[in-house]
Amino acid sequence: MQATFKTSALLAAMLLLAQAPSQAADAATGLPLLPAANSVAGKALTADSSLSAKADKASKSTPDDLKETDVWGRIRTGYAIPDLDNALVAKHTTWYSSRPDYIARTTARASRYLFHVVTELEKRNMPTELALLPFIESAFNPQALSSANAAGMWQFVPGTGRDYNLKQSVFKDDRRGVIASTDAALSYLQRLYDMFGDWQLALAAYNWGEGSVQKAIKRNQAAGKPTDFESLAELMPAETRNYVPKLQAVKNIIANPAQYGLNLPLIDNQPYFTAVDKTSDIDLTIAAQLAELSVDEFKALNPQFNRPVITGNDKTKILLPQENAEKFHLNLAQWGHALSTWTTHKITTARERIETLASKFHTTPEVLRQANNIPQKTVLVAGSTILVPRMSTSANVDIAPEVADNATVAYEADRGGKRSAKGYKLAKGSKASDDDAPVKLVKARVPRHAAHAKSRQRKDD
C-alpha cells in the first residue's frame, strides 16, 4: 500500500510539473522547456497516457518551417488547393517537364525569393503552392514586363498596383519590388478567395478579373449548371482556361521532380536576403560595389529602382544577401567619396534638346538618354524632370522625396510626330525575353482588376 501511494504521489507530482506555467517557450528555439524531473522519470512514465500526449504535443510544437531543411519541402507540406486532373494539366506537365533548361533557369531565379514568399504565405495560413504562381506569371523574373504593362514577378497592371499601394514613378516601380509586390499579391489573392470561397476561382479571377468570373458564375447559375472552375472553363478565354492547369502542372513537378527526370536546386530553409537601411541617395552601382555584388545580382534583389540612383528618405531599404549585408556596412563606414553622382533638373522651356542639356551639365547626350530612358530623336517637353550629373553646387544634397515621388518625363519627336503621353518610362531591357519565360507577349485588353496582364500566352497554347 505504501509503495502504491509513493508511486501515485510521484505521478501526481510529475503531472503538476508538466502543467506548470514555468514550462515557457525557449526564446531561441521556440520549444517548450520540460522540467528536469521528466527526464529523470524517463521510461517509467511512458505508460501514463496524459504525459505521453503532452510529450507528443511538445514534439509537434516545432514550427513546420523549422522541420524542413529545404524550402521545396515546405511548399509540398503546405499544398492545400484541390488538384485538377485533366487533359490540359497533362499537356502543360509535358511541356514543362520536357524543358529542363527552362526549369533550371526559373528555379535558379526562384531560389532568391521563395523563402520569403513561403514564409509570408504561412503567416497568412494560405496554400503554399501559391508560391509557385510567379512560375506561371513571370518565370520568377522581377523585370518581366508584358505588352499590357503588367510588371514584376506577380505581373501587376498599373491600376491594380495602385489599388494595393504599389508606388509607380520615374524613380521606382514597386510592382517589381520583391517585398512590396509579394505583400500586394497575397493580399489580392486572399481577397479573391474571400470573394469566391474557392482557390481555383480566385486564381482565375487573378488572371481574368473578378468581374469576369462573377459574370461567368451568374451565367452558369442561370442555366442551372455548376460553378466550379472546370464547369466555368468553357466560358473563359484560353489564357485563363489554361492558367490553373499550368499551376497544377508545376505543382505536380515540384511534388515529385524525380518522376519527371528533373532536379531542383537545393534552397536552404533560411532567408536569402535581409533589408538594409539606406540613409541618403546612393548610386545603384556604388551600392552594389559596397555590398561586393555584381550589378546584375544587386538588381535581382532590388528590381524596383528604375534609375541609376536610389532616392528616398530613411524609410527606403535595399535588399542584400545575408552574407553581403555586413560587407555593405563595413565598406560604407570606410567610403570616403560621394554616395550619389546624380541630381534632378526640371524642364521649363517648351522643348529642350538633349544635346543642349548635355553641354550645360558637362556630360554627353548618350549618358543623359541612358540614365533617363529617353529615345533617340526626341526632345523633352516642359514639366519633365530628369536626372543630370551633380554639379559642385548641388553636392551632398539629396533629391527631395516629393520630387522623386512626383517626377514625370514627357517627350516628343524631334522632327514632328505625336507627343508621347506624360508619365514614366520603364527601364530599358526590363521586358522578359522569350528565353526566360515560356510565353510570348501579345496584345490584349486587360480588366482593371486583373493583376496579370492578359498578354502572356505560352507559345504552344
Residues with a known catalytic role: 137
Sign of the CA dihedral with 238 first, then 243, 249, and 253 last: positive
Name the packing angle between helices 87-97 and 100-110 (round to 10°): 90
Spatial separation of the C-alpha atoms in residues 426 and 423, rounded to whole Å: 10
SS3 372: helix
Q: Do the beta carbons of residue 306 and residue 170 sit within 8 Å?
A: yes
Spatial separation of the C-alpha atoms in residues 332 and 291, rounded to whole Å: 9
**Cell 515529385 sits on residue:** 256
H helix or E strand, kind and range, residue 386: strand 385-389
What cell does 246 get? 499550368
Q: What's the Rg (C-alpha) of the chain?
A: 28
Torsion, Cα 387 392 396 398, to 10 degrees, reads -30
What are the two backbone dihedrals, phi and then psi, of residue 214, each rounded to the nearest 5 degrees?
A: -60, -40
The DSSP line for 76-129 is HHT--SPPP-SHHHHHHHHHHHT-HHHHHHHHHHHTTTHHHHHHHHHHTT--GG
Number of Cβ within 10 Å of residue 331's Cβ equals 15
**Cell 478567395 sits on residue:** 193
